[in-house]
C-alpha cells in the first residue's frame, strides 16, 4: 500500500505502508526510545520517560515482539519513519513516529491503513491506551476518551487515556459493553 499525505505546509509527503520485515526491529527500537525521549518528554518527566522506555533498544526483544505483533510501518526514502501495532481484537498497541517525521503525515497514513485493515478483518471498534502526547492525534482520527488512566511502569506512575473509535455504528445505549481488558 502506498499513501501520499500532506505535511503541515501542505506539500505532499510520500510514504509506503508495509508489514514489518525482519531487520526493521533496530529502527523500531530506536524510534520507540527516541519518540519517548524527544517527543513525549514535553508531557512526561524524565523519570517517567526512563521508566516507559525501559525496554530500550534491545533488538532481540524487539525482533521477538515484531515477529509476534507484525506491526505496520511507514517507510520513507528507504527508512522506517513510524510504526503501529493492531491486535486482532482492534487494540492498537505501540504507535510511534521517528521525531524527524513528526507532524508530516507519517502516522496519519499509518492510522488510515490500520483502520482499513481492521475494517477488512470485521473489527467494529478500535481501542487504545493513549499517551498525553498522542491524545490530539487520536482525537483528530475520530477516537474519543472513555476515561483517564493511571499506569504503573517499573514503579513509576504515568497518565494515559483509554480511547475508542467505532468503525461501524456502535451498539445502542444500554447494549454497549466495554471490551477493554485492563
What string of pLDDT tens digits covers the 182 residues of the chain? 444 444 433 434 558 999 999 999 999 999 999 999 999 999 999 999 999 998 666 778 999 999 999 999 999 999 999 999 999 999 999 999 999 999 999 999 999 999 999 999 999 999 999 999 999 999 999 999 999 999 999 999 999 999 999 998 877 766 655 555 44
Question: Residue 60 class from Cβ within 10 Å (0-12 exposed, 13-18 middle, 19+ buried)?
Answer: exposed
Q: Quick one: how far is CA 28 from the chain centroid?
A: 12
Domain limits of the chain?
Answer: 2-166
Q: How much is the pLDDT for 171?
A: 72
Write b or e for each residue in 82-92: b if 16 or more Cβ atoms lie within 10 A of its Cβ, otherwise e: bbbbbeeebbb
- Does domain 2-166 match CATH 3.40.630.30? yes
Amino acid at each position: 500500500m502506498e499513501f501520499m499525505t500532506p505535511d503541515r505546509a501542505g506539500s505532499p509527503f510520500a510514504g509506503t505502508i508495509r508489514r514489518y520485515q525482519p531487520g526493521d526491529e533496530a529502527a523500531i527500537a530506536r524510534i520507540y526510545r527516541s519518540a519517548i525521549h524527544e517527543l513525549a518528554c514535553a508531557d512526561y518527566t524524565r523519570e517517567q520517560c526512563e521508566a516507559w522506555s525501559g525496554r530500550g533498544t534491545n533488538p532481540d526483544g524487539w525482533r521477538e515482539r515484531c515477529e509476534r505483533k507484525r506491526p505496520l510501518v511507514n517507510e520513507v526514502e528507504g527508512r522506517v519513519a513510524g510504526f503501529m501495532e493492531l491486535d486482532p481484537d482492534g487494540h492498537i498497541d505501540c504507535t510511534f513516529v521517528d521525531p524527524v517525521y513528526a507532524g508530516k503525515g507519517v502516522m496519519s497514513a499509518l492510522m488510515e491503513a490500520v483502520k482499513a485493515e481492521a475494517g477488512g478483518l470485521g473489527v467494529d471498534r478500535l481501542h487504545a491506551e493513549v499517551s498525553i502526547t498522542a491524545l490530539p492525534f487520536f482525537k483528530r482520527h475520530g477516537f474519543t476518551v472513555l476515561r483517564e488512566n493511571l499506569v504503573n511502569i517499573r514503579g513509576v506512575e504515568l497518565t494515559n487515556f483509554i480511547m475508542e473509535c467505532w468503525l461501524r455504528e456502535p451498539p445502542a445505549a444500554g447494549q454497549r459493553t466495554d471490551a477493554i481488558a485492563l
